[in-house]
Structure 1
Amino acid sequence: MSESTLYPKIRTKLKEIIHDLQLIHEFASECPPPTKLMVTGTVKLHGTHADILIYPDNTIVLQSRNCLNLSITADNHEFAASMATKTAALLSLRDRYYERSKRLFPKVVIDEHAPLILAGEWIGQNIQKGVALVHLSKRFVIVSASLNGGWEPDLLYAGLESEADGIYNISRAGFYHAAIDLADPEATEQRLQGIAEEIAAECPFAKTFGVKGAGEGVVWKFDSFPHRERVWFKTKGGPFKPNYAPRPTKGPPSDKVLDEQSAQQKTAVDCAKAWCSEGRLEQAWDYLRETGKERNIKGLGLFLKWIVEDILVEERWDMEQLGVQPGLLKKAIADIAKPWYIGKSGIYAS
């Protein structure tokens, strides 16, 4: 895991993940290289990301996707306010993680300087919309745990939660298992997408509380190296399924031959239209709320910066495959995102 305690961004494109397997020592060192790898998945929840860092000296730090230190006065959907009353429960939960680690790995010594990171999702009423989770009271769900500076296999720490304190483990929704055929990623993606669509139709996590309704998808980790967050990936279903950029048509358009510059411009515009989805624009808008920035004309620059950087990171693989020029793409993104923001901030202000 990197030095930062912020939770890693999880990508969606399986071909990109398979390409990056070459950078994973455990995979690259195998001879001959495997043709198939198993992955284990957990339900992806649609809430707002939150982490609880618990140090051996009992210090507790709360953070979100973008903020390293949440507090009651600088909160994210009342997450810090809720956790402020649960110190005893959190310390007890940390001790249970330590105890299980000692049972599983008796020779491993707990690092006195590294926190236990309980990475999770803060879900429930008024956090998101369009999913079954909105019918639950606010609660924290652990989706990953880091001990001694490294992410642990989800299966090994299943069931560790504190239900009486509104802290749950994603394991209560079960685990999904699949084989990744490295030679046929398209067929694999279809199988994984089928699982994601089932979850999008009915959220297994919400169902454990007697609530039926839509879910989002699955987060997958390789069984052989679950601690390598670089190759974690997600599959989303239903309305959360990502928009993929259209592939350029082969040959010139029927009306006229575009010169190279015009063709590049068209590709950038087409990609911006695909990638500037309503969901991504809303994410950028929510980023300003989470970080305490004004959502008026003063926040426009930060809004555009976030969405451009998010697209450049998340869509890097397709950009390279399609030969998208970053400068042209940035302008095309701004041409879409700027009027959206101006309209949104005007409605918000009124």
Structure 2
Amino acid sequence: MFPKINFSAGFIVAYKKYQKDQRRFNKKPPNEVKLVGTVKLHGTHADIVVYSNDQILFQSRNRALDLEHDNHDFVKTMTPHKKQILSLRDQCIAKYEDIKGKGSVKSQYPIIIAGEWVGPKIQKGVALAQLEKNKFVVISISINNSWVPDQTFFTISNENVGIYNLIARTGYWMETLDVTKPAAFKETMKKLTLQVEKECPFAKTFGIIGTGEGMVWKGDLVAETRHILGADPKFWFKDKGEDHRNTTTEDLSARKAELKANARKFAETALKESRLEQGLDYLREMQVNGMLDRHTQFVKWLCEDVITEERRMIKKMTIDINLLRKAIDAIGTEWYMKQIGFRSLDLGGSGGASEDRSS
């Protein structure tokens, strides 16, 4: 499955560990790391997995997909294009062998064409929602069970059947991050992120002006060790604009005396509308049925997502995990009940739960 991408603090921790490991082999990776930045699209993740025997599978970030268990009609739309998909697989192999040599692609590993399924009715409040129809946008490719440089494989697309390549449409950015002094890069990163949020570069290629989401950054080649960091997802990180950030926890004070109040405040900051909406998307993707099951899975997803993405800030601020879970449960439940039209009983009249309209 496609990896979950963390924030820049995780990259810095991973790179410093990489430096330490490489010193054991008398290699000295520099403090300054070259990074490749691309536009982050606000849709739903989708993968096309192609095997050497021509078998094609589809998957989301969380599960395998088929015509009975689809995600926003991704499988339904892509299934008729088997010939074109196999051609893209062959193009991936040819490009890789041009670089690594004939026979360098191992047949036991599938080619994974990872992308974002974007367009109307997938996400709200973004420029991509104004597209005439949904599009599959290639954002990463895996060959030999390793992610290859995005900028090298920018030709992998077939726009005639709705398969686009992100870099071919929007280009990419090259920046340098000094892991010992990250402030300068973070300032540059924030400016780029805000530019993308203000005007989505991918949507603009279709004449649509409107809100984007942010940026994704991947480590480039480290000359001293000949390692392409971006082959490993722990050297990827994202930055979102304020309208799409799930959290602004870095702005919270770690000096709060009351653990319960601290956990509640953290949860309130983490549970922005975008994250809550993503929880509903997860229920739809996993086809969870039944009011009780949907509520349980919704709260569980929120807890796991917040704790996973914000684990460093949780540790730094000494947030009590159990209290945080309770706060997330309370806030998430209140929001969820509003979405399905739940009205609690009162002494003055009748109430109850209306039909779950979130499915």
Q: Which amino acid aligns with 2:114?
A: A
User: Which whole-Å deviations, capped at 9, do the CAs of 1:176-202 have from their partners, x for residues lacking one?
Assistant: 111112122233212101001111111
State yes or no: 1:100 paired with 2:95: yes
Contact 1:53 1:116 in 2 (8 A): yes
Structure 1's consecutive aligned runs of 4 or more residues displaced over 6 angstroms after TM superposition are: none
Aligned residue among 179, 184, 188 for 1:182: 179
Q: Is the 8 A contact 2:46 2:117 kept in 1?
A: yes
Checking the alignment, whether the CA contact within 8 Å between 1:297 and 1:345 is kept in structure 2 is no
Task: Report the Cα distance in structure 1 between the residues aligned to 2:21 and 2:187, rounded to whole angstroms.
Answer: 24
Matches within 5 A, 1:336-347: 336-346=331-341
Which residue is 2:210 aligned to? Answer: 213
Q: What SS does structure 2 have at the residue aligned with 1:85? A: helix
Structure 1 residue aligned with 2:233: 229
Q: How many Å apart are 1:242 and its aligned residue? A: 4.0
Aligned to 1:66: 62
Which residue pairs with 1:3 in the alignment?
Answer: none
Which region of structure 1 is more displaced relative to structure 2, 232-241 or 147-156?
Answer: 232-241
Q: 1:114 aligns with which of 109, 118, 125?
A: 109
Aligned length: 333
Which of the numbers 22, 29, 34 marks the counterpart of 2:30?
34
Contact 2:65 2:71 in 1 (8 A): yes
Matched, 1:317 2:312: yes
**Is the contact made by 1:21 and 1:27 (CA closer than 8 Å) also made in structure 2?**
no
Counterpart of 1:271 in structure 2 is 266
Deviations 1:51-101 (A, max 9, x none): 00000100000000111x211111100000001100000001100111111
1:248 paired residue among 253, 256, 275: 253
User: Are the equivalent residues in 2 in contact too, given 1:142–1:167 (CA < 8 A)?
Assistant: yes
CA contact (8 A) 1:281 1:337 kept: yes
1:131 to 126, 129, 134: 126
> Residues 18 and 35 (structure 1 numbering): CA distance in 2 closer, same or farther, change over 3 Å?
same
Query: What secondary structure, in the 3-state scheme, does the structure 2 residue paired with 1:324 have?
Result: coil
**Correspondence for 2:144:** 148
Aligned AA (1:241): R
Say if 1:117 and 1:146, in contact at 8 Å, map to a contact too: yes
Q: Distance in 2 between matches of 1:145 and 1:134?
A: 25
The answer for the alignment partner of 1:159 in structure 2 is 155
1:45 has 2:45 as partner: no
SS of structure 2 residue aligned to 1:268: helix
Select between 108-117 and 133-142 the one with higher mean Cα deviation: 108-117
1:199 lines up with 2:203 in the alignment: no
Secondary structure of 2:231 counterpart: coil
> Take 2:138 and 2:188, find their aligned partners in 1: how far apart are those partners?
26
State the AA in 2 paired with 1:98.
I
The alignment partner of 1:15 has SS state of: helix
Question: How does 1:14-29 map onto structure 2 within 5 Å?
Answer: 14-24=8-18, 28-29=22-23
Change (3 A) 1:58 1:249: closer
Contact 1:197 1:237 in 2 (8 A): yes
Instruction: Write the distance in 1 (CA, Å) between the matches of 2:91 and 2:83.
Output: 12
RMSD: 1.9
Counterpart of 1:236, as a letter, is K
**TM-score, structure 1 as length reference:** 0.90
Match of 2:224 in 1: none
Return the TM-score normalized by structure 2: 0.88
| Matched AA of 2:39 | V
**2:246–2:274 Cα contact (<8 Å) kept:** no
C-alpha separation in 2, matches of 1:280 and 1:343: 16
